[in-house]
DNA sequence: CATTTCATGTAATCCGTTACATGATTCC
DNA sequence: GGAATCATGTAACGGATTACATGAAATG
């Protein structure tokens, strides 16, 4: 069977979508966007992003221009094409798969009986600190993008340069809900272990 | 640099831990255990499980016996060794990484503005049906393993043959919380889109 | 009669991560 | 002086997934 001429993966569309949302952007700046609160949707390493950008160019979904800089390395700035926008829109209409979660701590929790009692408790307590930190960061993000629960957030247009975006707000809100849920689970688990062991 | 004689990954310890928890088990039955509600901790395909079982045997962390059957293919039944239990306990004491989530729907949500309004709404509504189903399944699991919020659940011993296990209960409770949170997010997002579009 | 279940495995590909590579500048 | 930031890439390796493979028995 011949290999498809145009193979595209979730990460391909993620990068394409980011170009649509943010306008002309370099790989370096895309990476920063990915790192800002979007981890709850999809993560990406810089080598992946550079790869996908080249792929988008091959497919004619994006075009590239080099910006020369004196004191810094040149920037390669990509922008989405008409074809790229069509491909993105078509992909958005496809049905989605289930979210995939993998959590070492949950695994160690289920095996908690196979190590000294303190062991699991320590891991749960350490995790609580990390997740409290994450929750605080996300609440800051919510302010940047605008709270999607407020009607005014949907009335302003979404612009390339601006962070204001109620759709992104929905995803950040998902992150907030996730971290809040996770913390509640941690605290309840810690309390139950403390109450019922020894 | 010479390759480590004993490389072990999260999935290695997951399989090892399942052997500790359930006693002598075949790869086939381990796969069924993995599929039952443990997806919120770690997922595994059957080919992965068979691989890891052979690895455990190589390391001396598990031993294998073949059970011949007349009407069915032979079963290879693995059980954990003393060394395996030590390795498991040591791993449980290691600090954990952050949970990793990847969710195509969250990604499509953040890009909702780049397709017709109905598109995202349809995906969100379809997802709500799937997650309601999952939540119902998990609530059944909670009953099987015992609600860890009840003190009596911690007083009974955990036995190889029995499903009763408050630690597993904690993880299933995590799944319940996750699905509940996810559904609330879906419903709120749907409501906000309906209220603010068109 | 077709699908599912039982039961184990191999092979290929895929996608993702990590490490390697470069080099100037700015910050502490 | 050393670390971090800016900026882009290549190469190697890795675990995870999917497809391929077999075959009898039970289920509907």
Closest C-alpha to A84, from A99, A105, A62: A62
Per-residue 3-state assignment (H helix, E strand, C coil) for B146-171:
CCCCCCHHHHCCCCCCCCCCHHHHHH
- Rounded to an integer, the average pLDDT of B14-29 is 95
If contacts are CB pairs under 8 Å, which of residues 44-83 in chain B contact chain A?
A: none
Nearest-angstrom CA–CA distance, B69 and B110: 54
Nearest-angstrom CA–CA distance, B31 and A161: 49
Where does B61-165 have alpha helices with state H? 82-92, 104-110, 117-145, 152-155
Stretches in chain A below the pLDDT threshold 70: 1-5
**CA angle A101–A165–A158, rounded 5-degree value:** 140
- Measure B3 CA to C10 C1' (Å): 24
Closest C-alpha to A87, from A156, A8, A167, A29: A8
> What pLDDT is attached to residue A128?
96
CA A90 to chain centre: 21
Nearest protein residue to C6's C1' (by CA)? B72
Q: Which has the higher per-residue pLDDT, A11 or B6?
A: A11
Q: Indicate the pTM of the whole model.
A: 0.93
**B164 in contact with chain A, both atoms CB, cutoff 8 A:** no
Q: Is the CB of B48 under 7 A from strand D?
A: yes
Pick from A92, A116, A119: which is nearest to B115 by CB?
A: A92
- Measure B158 CA to C21 C1' (Å): 53
Q: CA dist A30 to A178, B76, B112, Å? A: 24, 49, 19
Residue among B20, B81, B95, B110 with most chain A CBs within 10 A, to mutate: B110
CA B75 to chain centre: 23
Q: Is the pLDDT of residue B17 over 70?
A: yes
> What pLDDT is attached to residue A115?
96
Question: pLDDT band at residue B144, thresholds of 50, 70 and 90?
Answer: confident
Backbone dihedral angles phi then psi of residue B24, each to the nearest 5 degrees: -60, 125
Mean of pLDDT over chain B: 92
The share of chain B scoring above pLDDT 70, in percent, equals 96
**Three-state SS for A140?**
helix
Tokens of residue A45, six digits: 């390493």
Burial state string for A67-97 with b = 16 or more CB within 10 A and e = fewer than 16: eeeeeeeeebbbbbbeebbebbeebbeeebe
> What pLDDT is attached to residue B1?
29
> What pLDDT is attached to residue B5?
55
> What pLDDT is attached to residue A3?
38
Nearest-angstrom CA–CA distance, A97 and B98: 22
Nearest-angstrom CA–CA distance, B83 and A44: 38
Pick from A96, A107, A120: which is nearest to B41 by CB?
A: A107
> What pLDDT is attached to residue A5?
55
Residue A145: Cβ-neighbour burial (10 angstroms; 0-12, 13-18, 19+)? buried
Whether residue A173 and residue B185 make contact (CB cut-off 8 A), yes or no, is yes
Q: Which residue has the tokens 């068979």?
A: B50
Task: List, for residues B177-193, the tens digit of each pLDDT value.
Answer: 999 999 999 999 999 99
**B43 in contact with chain A, both atoms CB, cutoff 8 A:** yes
**Three-state SS for B95?**
coil
Q: For A46-50, B36-40, B83-87, which range has the lowest pLDDT when averaged over its residues?
A: B36-40
């Amino acid at each position: 069977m011949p290999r498809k001429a145009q193979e595209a993966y979730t990460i391909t569309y993620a990068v394409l979508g980011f170009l649509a949302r943010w306008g002309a952007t370099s790989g370096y700046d895309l990476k920063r966007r990915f790192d800002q609160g979007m981890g709850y949707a999809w993560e990406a390493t810089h080598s992946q992003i550079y790869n996908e950008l080249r792929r988008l160019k091959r497919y004619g979904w994006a075009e590239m221009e080099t910006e020369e800089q004196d004191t810094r390395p040149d920037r390669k700035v990509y922008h989405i094409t008409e074809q790229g926008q069509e491909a993105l829109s078509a992909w958005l209409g496809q049905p989605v798969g289930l979210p995939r979660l993998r959590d070492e701590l949950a695994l160690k929790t289920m095996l908690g009986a196979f190590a000294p009692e303190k062991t699991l408790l320590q891991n749960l307590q350490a995790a609580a600190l990390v997740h409290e930190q994450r929750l605080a960061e996300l609440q800051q993000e919510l302010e940047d993008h605008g709270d999607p629960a407020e009607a005014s957030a949907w009335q302003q247009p979404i612009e390339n340069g601006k962070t204001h975006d109620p759709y992104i707000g929905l995803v950040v809100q998902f992150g907030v809900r996730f971290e809040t849920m996770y913390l509640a689970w941690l605290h309840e688990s810690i309390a139950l272990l403390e109450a019922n062991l020894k």
